[in-house]
Structure 1
Amino acid sequence: MSYLHVLNGDAVLTAFNQSSLPGDIVVCREVLCEGKVKNTKDPDVFFESRAKHLEFHYGIDKQSYYTQVVQELEKIKPSGSLQEIILWFDNDLFCQFNLLFMIHLIRQRFKALPLITLVDLPRHPTPENYATLFETRTTLTETDLEIADDIWDALCLDTPQALELFSHMNNGHFKHMATAITAHLSRFPNTENGLSSIQEFFLQRLQMGDYRWYDLYKLFWDSLPVYGFGDFQLDVMTNRMIKAGVLEQDDQMLRITSLGSEILANEENYMDYAPMEHRWLGGVRLKTSRWRWNKKLQRLVSM
């Protein structure tokens, strides 16, 4: 039987190769929970939009994006011998949104779908784990695939209302999706001081004392594993907070500023100091969005 294994990121590639499971491998190197995602059914149009956005706002070279990301994903294509695609994805936001796109891409490229299965990947799997996980993989039904495509479409819309509905629904075999969506929605500016959930976490910890950046990152990973963010995403957020004047960095040390303390006390609003012109969450442009995260209600409200 011919298998195609889709892995989320290079971090699991070494251990997977040591597992000696048969089949070809594709590595998804996207970060689709970060930045703009264009609402289109054409993969070429999507990748072109994504490449421009990541180069302009994140400093990711367009050619490198096509070489490292797009060319790798071009391996996902019909083949006469291919009988099953196995999706290996963790339960955090980072992985779950990449999973949605992989299913969307597969459905765009295959007229007749092969068997598609899903592995609920634990954190930091060892080579020995993969054989057992492979044997316990879940077969995704047509209904599952339609659900995933519907959630992906909702993520790409310019309003988060449809996406929020899925955080309260039974999403078939995607048992972690509702939690991941809620984590994503909590990244919208909140109603009290305009901070996202992660920004507020950083300021609350720094209010208690200065941290080396890597110690603060580790605390975040240990406390809020639901996000699954890496150094790159946290560096982007930290630099934005420094430019907004709520954090200061001295060599490796991070500290909260007086403005940061005022925002944390709800005396100022972060959105008054942080440029939102090119900030996106999925298809939602934050500068023009009226949606805010209500911490007490744990849902979005229109302001």
Structure 2
Amino acid sequence: MRKQYHILNGDSLKEHFPESIQGEIIVAKECLVDGSVKGKSLTDFFKTRAEFISSNYDGCTEQDYFEKTVPEFQKMQMIPDYSDINLWFEDDLFCQVNLWFTVNLIFNSLRSSKVFLIRPAIHNQFGFGGLSEIELINAYKQKAQITELDKIALLWNFYQNNDIEELVKTANKLAQKYPFILNAVEAHINRIPNENGPGRPKQTLIDIMNELGTDSFGAVFKEFNKRESIYGFGDLQVKRLFDEVKNNG
């Protein structure tokens, strides 16, 4: 019988992962949608991320990153041949960027392993977190094998190198089977500041603050999640943008 591995996007799903689903759990403990992802090697990349996370996320040191985050990615690389690898990722940009990196990481290590994608049947701001145990089991039963690992792995390379043209080209090639990838890529492009504005997320925050007549983060964050669930940002990511908007007047 093939060994089962489940790669989850964050610890929240792990906390209520159905016990009836057999297999080893590995957690992608990252938010690659936020901050620099530069690095000529995997070692350089992890150093870049450790520095960014420790500088911008309270309660996480560089040592924490290398002791808690890096080992999970190393586990992915050590998955044995002839395994089934189940990727539990949602459609929003936060999850998609982590997915692209994960696929890129395991792609060259695969030997006769099969990779499956598991997505929520209903896509909303709560994602897997809004599903019951039965709904999670049903999502697992509906898993779909990924046969385009090479192209999805390339998405990470293009994202990391900020190659928007190739990112869009590859997303379009995958669009018929994975339309949510193109949606995420478009959301990424729209958040890049240009001469016409500060980018979609910041503009949405400005609009919400003006419409609600408040700069209370709690109220603004709640409304942002309703309008911009495509980004999948948590409170930490939105708070960084929120503070930048406030500081810039």
TM-score bin, normalised by smaller chain: 0.7 to 0.9
Structure 2 Cα separation of the partners of residues 158 and 170 of structure 1: 19
What's the CA shift for 1:148?
0.7
Output aligned runs, 1:90-129, within 5 Å. 90-108=90-108, 110=109, 112-121=111-120, 122=122, 123=127, 124-129=130-135
Is residue 203 of structure 2 the alignment partner of residue 203 of structure 1? no
1:135 to 128, 135, 141: 141
C-alpha offsets along residues 64-116 of structure 1, whole Å, 9 cap, x if unaligned?
111221122222133557621100011110101100011011124x1524111
Please say if residues 82 and 114 of structure 2, whose CA atoms lie closer than 8 Å, have aligned partners that are also in contact.
Answer: no
Q: Does the alignment pair 1:215 with 2:215?
A: no
Does the aligned pair in 1 maintain the 2:86–2:118 contact within 8 Å? yes
Matching residue of 1:14: 15
Deviation at 1:55, TM superposition (A): 3.0
Work out the CA distance in 1 between the residues paired with 2:187 and 2:173: 15
Sequence identity of aligned pairs in percent?
26
Partner residue of 1:231 out of 221, 235, 247: 235
Instruction: State how far apart, in whole Å, the 2-side matches of 1:39 and 1:165 are.
Output: 23
Quote the Cα distance in structure 1 between the aligned partners of 2:54 and 2:21. Answer: 36
CA contact (8 A) 1:107 1:113 kept: no
**Quick one: distance in 1 between partners of 2:158 and 2:80?**
33
> Which TM-score applies when normalising by structure 2?
0.87
Higher strand share: 1
Q: CA offsets, 1:155-192, max 9 Å, x none?
A: 11144222233454434643310000100111111332
Q: TM-score, normalised by structure 1?
A: 0.72
Aligned residues: 239
Aligned to 2:63: 63
1:134 deviates by 1.5
Give 1:85's aligned residue.
85
Q: Which residue of 1 aligns with 2:152?
A: 148
3-state SS in 2 of match to 1:68 = helix
Q: How far did 1:8 drift?
A: 0.6
Q: Give the C-alpha shift of residue 4 in structure 1.
A: 0.6
| Greater fraction of residues in helix | 2
Flag structure 2 segments of 5+ consecutive residues without an equivalent.
none
Gaps of 5+ in 1: 247-303
Partner of 1:44: 43
Q: How far does the alpha carbon of each residue in 1:6-29 deviate from its partner, in whole angstroms, 9 at most, with x for none?
A: 01111211221x342100101111
Instruction: Give the Cα separation in 2 of the matches to 1:195 and 1:63.
Output: 34
User: Contact 2:46 / 2:70 at 8 angstroms: preserved in 1?
Assistant: yes
Higher relative contact order (CA 8 A, sep 6+): 1
1:238, CA displacement in angstroms? 1.5
- 3-state SS of paired residue (1:36): coil
| Distance 1:81-1:165 versus aligned 2 partners, 3 A rule | closer
Give the superposed CA RMSD. Answer: 2.1
From the superposition, tell whether residues 146 and 199 of structure 1 become closer, same or farther in structure 2 (CA, over 3 Å): same
Match of 2:179, SS state, is: coil
